[in-house]
Structure 1
Amino acid sequence: MSEFTRNALEKVLPKLKCHFTWNLFREGSISNHMEDRVCNQIELLNSEYKATMYNLLAYVKYLDGENEAALECLRQAEDSLEPKQDDEAEIRRLVTWGNYAWIYYHMGQFSEAQAYVDKVRHVCKKYANPYSMECPELDCEEGWTRLKCGRNERAKMCFLKALEEKPSDPECSSGLAIATSRLDEQPEKQFSVDALKQAMELNSKNEYVKVLLALKLQKMGEETEGEQLIEDTLRRAPDQTDVLQKAAQFYQKKGNLDRANNFLVRALRSTANNAPLYCLVMCRYRKELEQLQKTGNAETSASVEKMEGLRRLTMEYMHQALQRKRSPLNSYSDLMDYPEVERCCQLVFSTESPGAEEQQLYQRYCDLQEYHRQSEGLAALKAFLRSCSLTETTCIETEEMKQQA
């Protein structure tokens, strides 16, 4: 009976519309901070939209080998839809049930998997297809999931398909506007601006759409209007991480690096394990340090003190970013382009007698150059480290890092 059920499931499961059949991630492309980003979204979203993120979190947990945690996420997805008993909620449950079926199948619990397949069939048979159906609700659900995974082109197609049947749907319009904005990087193009404005009209509570529009207006030379949108959005959503990051981008382009850094630091309060965000803050402080070094009064005591503070901040955020990566060596190549890291290292390592933390970063910088097969300056750096008398413990840790690479 079990083998029969397994064979039957293997024919049916690929037909289900859910995360296991959407091909969301290219092999090895899932980022280490995806889970942190999704959890942050769950905290910010209204209850009726949490199911989308819980389903994605369940899939991420499954990919990490945490099947029980994945099932708990699916239970939370169901709970978030529980208050709604209309047809739309029932259709959106199809994604959750499909994920249940796949996870139970991979766990070898075929009867449980079959039970959820039966739930899907019970709903879909109303629409003349036993295991899947074409409807704007599912297209929209797939679109938001793909958008979160960076599959912007496919997400755009999902939203366009949904809007063919529901042309004034605010959720689909917002999704299309965001996808189009990400794909349309040419400032002279008008379509994404129009899409963002339409999305704002249909859903005035979507603060992320507003900051995207602000950035587009800034590109078009309408910075004052864009800044008004930014300020209005920050009053309404002062702690929304994605809004804070886009606000930082706006002020960085405007040249106000202090304010840009402030927004990024605020964003880190609610997504503390986001290594790339720590890296971004590090780069912002590095840029501010470079600008200060280029000024004519860089030798004044006030400037020297500020530069020292910026070096410390650059080093601190670099250290925080590296701590949050799974592999100390691979983190360099994952975190950012190599030249960017090297510039930060060269700016930070400017004192003649570094402390213990700086010595460890020097050692990591040596490993970084060795990892990228760049020998210039490597011997001098290693000689410098030996002169600083690094402890035996640090050397052992370094050898362990090399073995992990």
Structure 2
Amino acid sequence: MSTISKNSLKTSLLELECHFTWTLLKQDVDLDELEETIGDQIEFLIKSNITNYNLLSYVCHLKNSNEEALRNLQKAEEEIKKNYPDEIARRSLVTWGNYAWIYYHMERYKEAQTYVNKVENSCKKLSSTAQWKIQLPEIYAEQGWALLKFGGKYYMRAKNCFENALKNEPDNPEFNAGYAIAMYRLEDFSHRQCEDASLSIKPLKRAVQLNPKDTFIVALLALKLQDFKQVEEGERYIEAAMQKTPDLPYVLRYAAKFYRRKGEVDKALKILKKAIAVTPKSAFLHHQLGLCYRAKLFQLKKTTRYPPQEQVEEFIRLSIFHFKMATDQKTKFFSAHVDLANMYAQGKRYEKAEETFQKAFQINILSYNDKQEYYYHYGNFQHFHMKSESEAIRYYLEGLKIEKDSYIRSKCRDALNQLLEKRIQGGLGDATDFGTLGLIHNLNGEKHKATECYEKAVALCPDNEEYLSALCELRLSISS
């Protein structure tokens, strides 16, 4: 193929609406785990699988198996013929776009051009104005579903896609479900501050109203109601979902989470064991099992003055086993890594704890909240297990320096305050402690308290540039 026609083919490919042009980056996901998840959804969720097969073809391409990618596109085509016999062209645009890109990567340029032409001709028939960019609600929705699968970084874009889809079809149950899930995940991802009302409750209720058979959404609504202390209403929803689809792992896992958070840990364990028999490799389920055994450990320690050592060790062992399964299965599962590290520390396996904390911090998709959480838990590890107050202070401070308000940031601040006050009252306070306390007060906007602390720091260490300049800035801002 000549360079000119190859370049014009590439230009056309970049115009297509499909997974290859939606900026879905492989470094943001664990491809094996994503492939497993899509496979489970194809098996268990009773809905059209066009979206799943299209996404699976893209995942296979990212894993360098283009032949397998083509096989999944054929399956997507079969689903389109079965579900939309009267709208084949309209429903095939994403599939054909993926075909074109995969053939291009296989250097089968003629086939790639054929699919480019198919998309172009169909777009011309479907819209008098568009050569390529045809804004169909189902394409927005398909992009939204793909973005949701690629993790937290993509949730805001997913929400926008479903909003665009809903502009044309406000009562479409699937688009409403996608929008509700995106809102739910966004709140979870940003570790919501407890506002008076949750932004996702309304869209979740609307999605349930439009399709009460979608028990996955029903279960999410139950958890969200529980977040806002509407536990009885939440439980009615969760029980209804379990009655409608008693064997669906996606509903069972959220039901288990609901009962664990309600304090009914044994009931949660029973549900999880049923779910894990169906999907034994689910990282989510293993993480939930680990959390249940951890809850049993803390319950035992709280209620028994001298808890039997073998029981304590058994709960630690089971918890570690399941957290480890979760991190093996999903290598970028940050909270499972932190939970595993903390559990190693509980079991006094400090080297393993240290190693796991380091692995957690090396995950390349950490949000600000994740980093704050890391610093807080690692600070606790240094403080309570390694008995190093100076290291603990260092890491709590790192968490506080990430100036994004969150529940975990306030925990870093409280832990720091306690440690520093204790050191100062015990007569151990040095210039660094006063300087750090000054920084905390300054970050909190408490300028007079900050000034006092920096004055004490300077008195102890008169030549320190950092303290002198902070003090100078504070005095200027107070007087201005």
| TM-score calculated relative to the size of structure 1 | 0.78
Distance 2:268 2:213 in 1: 24
Counterpart of 1:22 in structure 2 is 22
1:338 deviates by 5.8
Q: Which has the larger radius of gyration?
A: 2
Distance 1:363 1:110 in 2: 54
1:210 aligns with 2:210: no
Distance 1:240 1:148 in 2: 19
1:319 deviates by 4.8
Distance 1:193 1:161 in 2: 20
Distance 2:179 2:329 in 1: 33
Counterpart of 1:392 in structure 2 is none
1:190 deviates by 5.0
Counterpart of 1:155 in structure 2 is 158
1:115 aligns with 2:114: yes
1:117 deviates by 1.0
Q: CA 1:295 to 1:220, structure 2 compared with 1: closer, same or farther past 3 Å? A: same
Q: Which among 231, 246, 249 is matched to residue 241 of structure 1?
A: 249
Counterpart of 2:145 in structure 1 is 144
Q: How does 1:20-59 map to 2 (within 5 A)?
A: 20-25=20-25, 28-32=27-31, 33-46=33-46, 49-59=48-58
Q: Deviations over 1:325-357 (max 9, x none)?
A: 6xxxxx5x855476533321133468xxxxxxx
One-letter identity of the residue aligned with 2:140: D
Q: CA 1:233 to 1:136, structure 2 compared with 1: closer, same or farther past 3 Å? A: same
Counterpart of 1:11 in structure 2 is 11
Q: Please tell me whether the aligned partners of residues 104 and 113 of structure 1 are also in contact (alpha carbons under 8 angstroms).
A: yes
Distance 2:358 2:28 in 1: 25
Distance 1:270 1:60 in 2: 23
Counterpart of 1:197 in structure 2 is 205
Q: Please tell me whether the aligned partners of residues 278 and 320 of structure 1 are also in contact (alpha carbons under 8 angstroms).
A: yes
Q: How does 1:351-390 map to 2 (within 5 A)?
A: 367-368=355-356
Q: 5+ residue gaps in structure 1?
A: 326-330, 351-361, 379-405
Q: CA 1:181 to 1:370, structure 2 compared with 1: closer, same or farther past 3 Å? A: closer
Q: Please tell me whether the aligned partners of residues 214 and 226 of structure 1 are also in contact (alpha carbons under 8 angstroms).
A: yes
Counterpart of 1:74 in structure 2 is 73
1:266 aligns with 2:278: no
* SS, match of residue 20 in structure 1: helix
Distance 1:285 1:188 in 2: 32
Distance 1:193 1:220 in 2: 10
Q: CA 1:347 to 1:262, structure 2 compared with 1: closer, same or farther past 3 Å? A: farther
Q: Deviations over 1:79-123 (max 9, x none)?
A: 111213455453221111101111110111111111111211121
Q: Please tell me whether the aligned partners of residues 327 and 336 of structure 2 are also in contact (alpha carbons under 8 angstroms).
A: no
One-letter identity of the residue aligned with 2:38: V
1:312 deviates by 3.5
Counterpart of 1:385 in structure 2 is none
Q: Please tell me whether the aligned partners of residues 208 and 243 of structure 1 are also in contact (alpha carbons under 8 angstroms).
A: yes
1:223 deviates by 0.8
One-letter identity of the residue aligned with 1:263: I
Distance 1:17 1:193 in 2: 31
* SS, match of residue 83 in structure 1: helix
1:295 aligns with 2:326: no
Counterpart of 1:312 in structure 2 is 317
C-alpha RMSD of the superposition: 3.0
Q: 5+ residue gaps in structure 2?
A: 363-377, 387-480
Identity %: 37
Q: Please tell me whether the aligned partners of residues 276 and 282 of structure 2 are also in contact (alpha carbons under 8 angstroms).
A: yes
Distance 2:86 2:162 in 1: 20
Distance 1:156 1:261 in 2: 33
Counterpart of 2:97 in structure 1 is 98
Counterpart of 1:381 in structure 2 is none
Q: Deviations over 1:225-278 (max 9, x none)?
A: 110110110122223233222222211221122222333333333433344542
Counterpart of 2:168 in structure 1 is 165
One-letter identity of the residue aligned with 2:175: C
Distance 1:28 1:61 in 2: 14
Distance 1:45 1:69 in 2: 22
Distance 1:276 1:215 in 2: 15
Q: CA 1:170 to 1:45, structure 2 compared with 1: closer, same or farther past 3 Å? A: same
Q: CA 1:342 to 1:193, structure 2 compared with 1: closer, same or farther past 3 Å? A: closer
- The structure showing larger relative contact order (alpha-carbon pairs under 8 Å, at least 6 residues apart) is 1
Counterpart of 2:184 in structure 1 is 181
| TM-score calculated relative to the size of structure 2 | 0.67
Q: Please tell me whether the aligned partners of residues 223 and 258 of structure 2 are also in contact (alpha carbons under 8 angstroms).
A: yes
1:162 deviates by 1.6
Q: Deviations over 1:130-182 (max 9, x none)?
A: 22311212122222222232322212212221222112111111111222222
Distance 2:358 2:234 in 1: 45
